Chain A
């Protein structure tokens, strides 16, 4: 799986509307008002925050390969996807990430699973004392709880979990390569996990590509294990995915702002209380608006202005703020963003 393919998918959605940097922000999961709004608008939530540590140069390299292939171009901060690029984007398989809901927390799930498998494997070989693969106390305690509940109900837990894993991986519909990568990152007695380089060497795929395959596979596995019928069919995995999906998509800081906002404090007062810049609070408010169907937008913009902007967006199919600002100079960028974030449902 190539990073460039993912960028192409995102770029195609933002075609003519945003810069390529906007895709970088999405992949990194930038918590700015602009990015949070973009992911919603352009329906790229699945890609949000899948590569939090994506480096500038890695991104630039992938982008330049798309340039060279004649699939995208960028001028004046706007990306354009060529016909060739659009065709290619259509041909690509649909990616099945769910970055929006997992945001890096899939690693917690996986560590739980690794430690559980390691423990079951050790116990099966009657080795009660071993060096755990992770020293994270939270993970250790979690797995210990899971084991405790297993011992009450299942005599042969290792076997049972093996069957469950076999079933779950089939249910995900991931490729054999993806399943193999996932399983080789697991560790057991005389079968330690494999490093990324070792996987690269024996699959012939690059580390970067394998890590994307792994991530998508992990997201699929979590989704399958979360489902309501998983409670019966995949009971252990269902335990392991507990609290992985984020409950409120708001960032921590935004959640604090929301409390104050709900108490009716105006923005500048929130900024003083929180000792943050007004701009930051505005970003938070936009984030709240994006996630709340009943957002009281009338606290910020009149009904007439809302309708006028919505009309303009629909008529020209334009979501660029700069363009809208030219049309409605009396509205602030913040107001425009609020209108956009609260109306996307009605537009489609």
Chain B
């Protein structure tokens, strides 16, 4: 079959990106498939193209509403209008409309918690599903950095739906996560297509500093002398706001972005970043999924993320156009403790679990039991899930293991910042990979993380000037 021809006709591309063609061939054979492709390497084409070629509905399970909406938007943008998304934000009426029109839909996006509702399951399993896509499939594994308990219920759905071909997509999965994906999604002999995580055009730098204040000073200097577009990842909304204000005072065009921002402002900021009206975004990890900006030249972390997988994903948002991009991680000694606290917060300890179980036994609701036991919302969902399948003793064992594992993940990050050997090799080793070739602009340990190419003495952004309203209308429309 000439897939290139299909690609050209339906999407207007001449070439597949690495890995895509193998994945598509596997799916067209109706084999279960796991595709591990780095961020920004066109994962969605892997189901869009075969979806167009096969009869039946492509059901895409997606963890975030924003991600879902974004994918729907980009499919519509290429002219495919037979697409819809179902999530808990829809009104009953909107949902009913989609169901009435389901025969006209080719791509249906749905959240994991929606799909496991009995009425929804009953409705969906009767449909002719051509491909069941599990996006961000690493979320199914508690070994992954972004565990979502709702994903664990997908296996049951797949069984009820009569085991349609399953395509699991993710950017990062080590051997354990891969094993979890296979087992929880009831996959039979899946084809695993793995593309190297090595991004030759990224240059890695670890920048050790003395104090938190030094980080701010360093960022000020860096942003004044080098070019964007860039992202600064910070650990909290508060830090995002503060840092943004400080950098704005230096004349840098930057906006903060986090889940606490008003929806209107969030889309405005994305747009300003896309058009280049602002050069920098200072964001929590809420920013990223579904941002289509190829020319990001720097991704700077104000604090280390909780795992190497998360770091690879976030830093990997730079340089999608294939041009060079700098990945910088700032580090002070205190960071280890701070991140450890954040990481362990969502995992209840033994007394908490026992308290929760006792409260549930005495007839309290999940919510109030969690509150009384001091367990976070995520934590309570995890406990609740395990309570259905495991004994209390086994749950406690599992949690001990999880805690240990999260600590391991964090140790990888800590080892990374202290690494005396090549940072790229260090990162890749966590995913059982080695670098394919020696790179000219590799990392700060190799001594080749030069950034003179980033230097810029461009005049900093002018102060924004409010227009007269009549003038503004004319600018927009005349």
Contact = CB atoms under 8 A, between A and B. Distances in A.
Interface in A128-164: 129-135, 137-138, 158-159, 161-162
B255 A193 contact: no
Interface string B437-465: 00000000000000000000000000111
Contacts of B476: 117, 121, 162, 183, 186-188, 191
Interface in B49-86: 69-70, 72-73, 77-78, 84
Given A184-B472, A202-B465, A135 B268 contact: no
A161 B476 CA distance: 11
Contacts of A162: 473-474, 476-478
A191 B272 contact: no
B470 to A, nearest CB: 6
A64 interface: no
Contacts of A44: none
A176 B469 contact: yes
A38 to B, nearest CB: 29
Contacts of B472: 180, 183-184, 186, 191
A198 interface: yes
Contacts of B72: 135
A202 B466 CA distance: 6
B467 interface: yes
A158 B271 CA distance: 21
A202 B467 CA distance: 10
A308 B267 CA distance: 58
A158 B464 contact: no
A195 interface: yes
A192 B277 contact: yes
Contacts of A179: 469
Contacts of B466: 180, 184, 199, 202-203
Contacts of A124: 477
B349 interface: no
A131 B271 contact: yes
Contacts of A237: none
Nearest to A161: B477
Given A131-B73, A131-B77, A195-B255, A166 B470 contact: yes
B361 interface: no
Given A166-B470, A184-B467, A133 B271 contact: yes
B60 to A, nearest CB: 15
A86 B27 CA distance: 74
Interface in B276-292: 277, 292
A339 interface: no
Interface string A188-226: 101111111111011100000000000000000000000
B73 A132 contact: yes
Contacts of A183: 467, 469, 472-473, 476
A182 interface: yes
Contacts of B463: 202
B265 interface: yes
A221 to B, nearest CB: 12
Contacts of A161: 477
B175 interface: no
Contacts of A203: 466
Contacts of A129: 77-78
B275 A117 contact: no
Of B72, B77, B267, B292, the most chain A CB neighbours within 10 A belong to B267
Nearest to B471: A183
Given A121-B477, A162-B473, A202 B77 contact: no
Interface in B80-110: 84, 94
A30 interface: no
Given A180-B468, A183-B469, A196 B477 contact: no
A187 B473 contact: no
B469 A192 contact: no
Contacts of A134: 267
A325 interface: no
A165 interface: yes
Contacts of B248: 201
A193 B268 CA distance: 6
Contacts of A187: 268, 271, 476
A192 B272 contact: yes
Contacts of A201: 248, 464
Interface in A216-272: none
B9 interface: no
Given A120-B477, A184-B467, A135 B275 contact: no
Of B255, B272, B292, the most chain A CB neighbours within 10 A belong to B272
A202 B465 CA distance: 7
Nearest to B70: A135
A169 interface: yes
A137 B98 CA distance: 11
B363 interface: no
Contacts of B213: none
B477 A158 contact: yes
Contacts of A159: 477-478
Nearest to A184: B472
Nearest to B274: A131
Contacts of A135: 69-70, 72-73
A201 B465 CA distance: 10
A111 to B, nearest CB: 8
B477 A188 contact: yes
Nearest to A136: B69
Nearest to B268: A193
Contacts of B478: 158-159, 162
Interface of B: 69-70, 72-73, 77-78, 84, 94, 248, 255, 262, 264-265, 267-269, 271-272, 274-275, 277, 292, 463-470, 472-478
- In order of increasing CB-CB distance, the 7 nearest A-B pairs are A179-B469, A162-B477, A188-B476, A135-B69, A183-B472, A193-B268, A192-B271
28 contacts: A117-B476, A117-B477, A120-B477, A130-B77, A135-B69, A137-B84, A137-B94, A159-B477, A159-B478, A162-B474, A162-B476, A165-B473, A166-B470, A180-B468, A180-B469, A180-B472, A183-B467, A183-B473, A184-B466, A184-B472, A185-B264, A186-B472, A188-B475, A192-B275, A195-B255, A197-B265, A202-B463, A203-B466
Given A135-B72, A176-B468, A193-B264, 15 more contacts: A117-B476, A117-B477, A120-B477, A129-B77, A158-B477, A161-B477, A180-B469, A182-B469, A183-B467, A186-B472, A190-B275, A191-B472, A192-B271, A195-B269, A198-B255
Interface of A: 117, 120-121, 124, 129-135, 137-138, 158-159, 161-162, 165-166, 169, 176, 179-180, 182-188, 190-199, 201-203
